[in-house]
Amino acid sequence: MATNIHKTAIVSKKAELGEDVVIGPYCMVGDGVKLGRGVQLVSHAVIEGDTEIGEDCIIHQFATIGLPPQDLKYKGEKTAVKIGVKNIIREYVSIHRASVSGHGVTKVGDSNFIMAYVHIAHDCSIGNSNILANASTFAGHVTIEDFAFIGGLVAIHQFNRVGCYAMVGGCTGITQDIPPYVMASDHRAKLYGLNIVGLKRRGFSEETVNVLKAAYRILFKERVAMTEALRRVKNELPQIPEILHLVEFIEANKRGVCR
């Protein structure tokens, strides 16, 4: 199938379009944009700058990708957006290109479901297979690992991280890192146990879940300093990959860890 461009769309001759790309009514595709095979722009989408979108992504009405960051330090420097394959990006989503204070790229991985009105700011790094619910907002330099669920109207402060397989309830404000495998919610995020249902749905064994439960008790329920809790987790529990990642995630924090 040849590339299909609606007669009302404006597509730069300097854009690179893969096979089977569909560009719907009133879309705008700027200089330097790269659209992989099978990308669909439904209508009224705006894609600008050094933006690369991987195969089979579907981008819905009024989404804007690759526009300049909302950062007063940014003065037009060349920065980028890189989006992987098989992402669904719904209405009014905004994904800004990086600013000058990061690594130069705003990244979105593969197979993410990004619901309406989500804002992904400059220098964010979104992993794979995440669900980002309506109007969730990610400030600059936010990192989301893989298989996380972020509820509607969640606001994440800049430089914070959300670990893999975590679930964040709607209307939560996040000012510290959310560890992997947990549930968090409340006006200012608090932990509410392991994301047990989510872990089982993703095929985690009962043995792995039990080890993570033990780690959760030590790290987040017992009233000991985090350094002591980490020492105990390292010495008292099986060092399965999930425990190693949990410990590494916590030790790498810069803004504190939600407890």
Is 197 within a domain?
A: no
The question of whether 31 is a catalytic residue gets the answer no
- Answer yes or no: do 64 and 140 share one domain: yes
Domain edge (last residue) among 105, 120, 144: 144
Mean pLDDT of each 10-residue bin along the chain, 259 residues long: 88 98 98 98 98 98 98 96 99 98 96 99 98 98 98 98 98 98 97 97 98 98 96 98 98 96
Q: Are residues 214 and 86 in the same domain?
A: no
Alpha-carbon span 165 to 197, nearest angstrom = 10
Domain holding 97, by residue range, is 4-144
Contacts of 140 (CB under 8 A, 6+ apart): 69, 71, 99, 101, 102, 121, 122, 123, 124, 158, 159
Selected catalytic residue, list 140, 151, 163, 198:
140
For residues 131 and 239, state if they share a domain.
Answer: no
10 and 137 part of one domain: yes
Our count of domains for the chain comes to: 2
Kindly state whether residue 190 falls inside one of the protein's structural domains.
Answer: no
**Is 159 part of a structural domain of the chain?**
no
pLDDT at 2: 62
Residue 164 covered by a domain: no
- Are 245 and 130 part of one and the same domain? no
Note whether 85 and 10 are same-domain residues.
yes
> Final residue of a domain: which of 106, 125, 144?
144
226 domain residue, yes or no: yes
Residue 3: its pLDDT value, please?
87
Single residue among 144, 177, 195 that ends a domain in this structure: 144
Which residue in the list 122, 169, 177, 198 is annotated as catalytic? 122
Residues 136 and 13 in one domain: yes
CA–CA separation, 169 and 187 (whole Å)? 10
- Does residue 181 lie within any of the structural domains? no
Q: Classify residue 186: in a domain, yes or no.
A: no
141 an active-site residue? no
Would residue 185 count as lying in a domain?
no
Looking at the structure, tell me whether residues 140 and 228 fall in a common domain. Answer: no
CA dist 78 and 57 (Å) reads: 24
Same-domain pairing of 219 and 131: no
Q: Which of 38, 66, 109, 123 is flagged as catalytic?
A: 123
Active site residue 44: no
Kindly report the three-state secondary structure assignment for every residue of the chain. Answer: CCCEECCCCEECCCCEECCCCEECCCCEECCCCEECCCCEECCCCEECCEEEECCCCEECCCCEEEECCCCCCCCCCCCEEEECCCCEECCCCEEECCCCCCCCEEEECCCCEECCCCEECCCCEECCCCEECCCCEECCCCEECCCCEECCCCEECCCCEECCCCEECCCCEECCEECCCEEEECCECEEEEECHHHHHHCCCCHHHHHHHHHHHHHHHHCCCCHHHHHHHHHHHCCCCHHHHHHHHHHHCCCCCECC
CATH number at residue 46: 2.160.10.10
